[in-house]
Amino acid sequence: MRAFIFPGQGSQSVGMGKALADASPVAREIFQEVDEALGQHLFRLMTEGPESDLTLTENAQPAIMANAIATLRVLEREGNVRLSEKADFVAGHSLGEYTALCAAGALDIATTARLLKTRGRAMQAAVPVGEGAMAALLGADIEKAEALAAAAAEGEVCQVANDNDPGQVVISGHRAAIERAIALVKEHGIKRGVLLPVSAPFHCVLMQPAADVMAQALAGAPLSAPVVPVYANVLAAPIAAPDEVRARLVEQVTGRVRWRESVAAMTEGGVTQFVEFGGKVLGPMVKRISPDATVTSVISMDDIEALLAGL
């Protein structure tokens, strides 16, 4: 069994998508469609920068999605491949869940781009700059991370945001609480705590204003049942009913990204091959969770051709 997976924020870089667009009219069509949906020259920003603008949450989120979907669509159209015949599940990390839903036909690409633009703006606006922070805990399992977050909170928000793999957990909350957590890592048997270069504390209760915005946006968005089940970040389980998809996407704004559990559940369900589109971020996590799994990253035309030969 096979899962197609899609990366989250942090996988953006200036130049992304350029080689693919140069090589494929299908990719160029996808990037143009996203530009038109958003009413901005996002593809120019992706290929030329500046990096500071591309890194802005409201730009990074639709850009990462567009790059991954363009890669997938080139595979599908030029390789005459149907996702429903080659993938048993789809999943994405945080914003990647929207990409996964688009890949599986639950959302069209214009709607996905607009939702992610809205999501990025709402997440940025939810907490004043400087009040929130996130940190990666290296050498931490979920139990150690939860104990550290509880000890560091002191009445402020400090909670697990991303359970990425057996050795990496991300915490999120008020800046002072996150800084306290970093200072306490050794006492909790954790190797290191690293402050992340993010502009807001994602996936914690401080994001509730953004969740409210997304509840409204998703209520009015056309959403169909995906052609294959989508693993929901907040459940670490597959879902397909449109109303449940909407509810879980709203929960995801403030909820934990249960990536480690999602990959483990897919593996236990029989998935032996994971294919990451548009990035090389999730593959190493998957290997740490499921060492026996086969992991493929698909970014270039060469990658697409190699994957086609093995499908």
| Catalytic choice (203, 262, 290, 297) | 203
Which of 195, 6, 23 is closest to 100 using CA atoms?
6
Which of 13, 73, 83 is closest to 281 using CA atoms?
13
300 tagged catalytic: no
Q: Provide the token pair at 32.
A: 């143009």
The whole-angstrom separation of Cα 122 and Cα 278 is: 24
Residue with tokens 């509810």: 247
With both helix axes pointing from N to C terminus, report the angle between 282-289 and 259-268 in degrees, rounded to the nearest 10: 60
Q: Provide the token pair at 55.
A: 């890194």
| Catalytic choice (94, 172, 262, 290) | 94
The kind and range of the H/E element at 63 are: helix 57-78
188 tagged catalytic: no
E strands within 155-261? 158-165, 168-174, 192-195, 230-232, 237-239
The whole-angstrom separation of Cα 75 and Cα 194 is: 37
Q: What angle do CA 69, 92, 14 make, to 5 degrees?
A: 55
Q: Are strands 132-138 and 168-174 parallel, antiparallel or unpaired?
A: antiparallel
Cβ neighbours around 49 below 10 Å, total: 14
Q: What angle do CA 90, 96, 228 make, to 5 degrees?
A: 20
Buried b (16+ CB within 10 A) or exposed e, 184-213: bbeebebeebeebebbbbbbbebbeebbeb
Active site residues: 94, 203
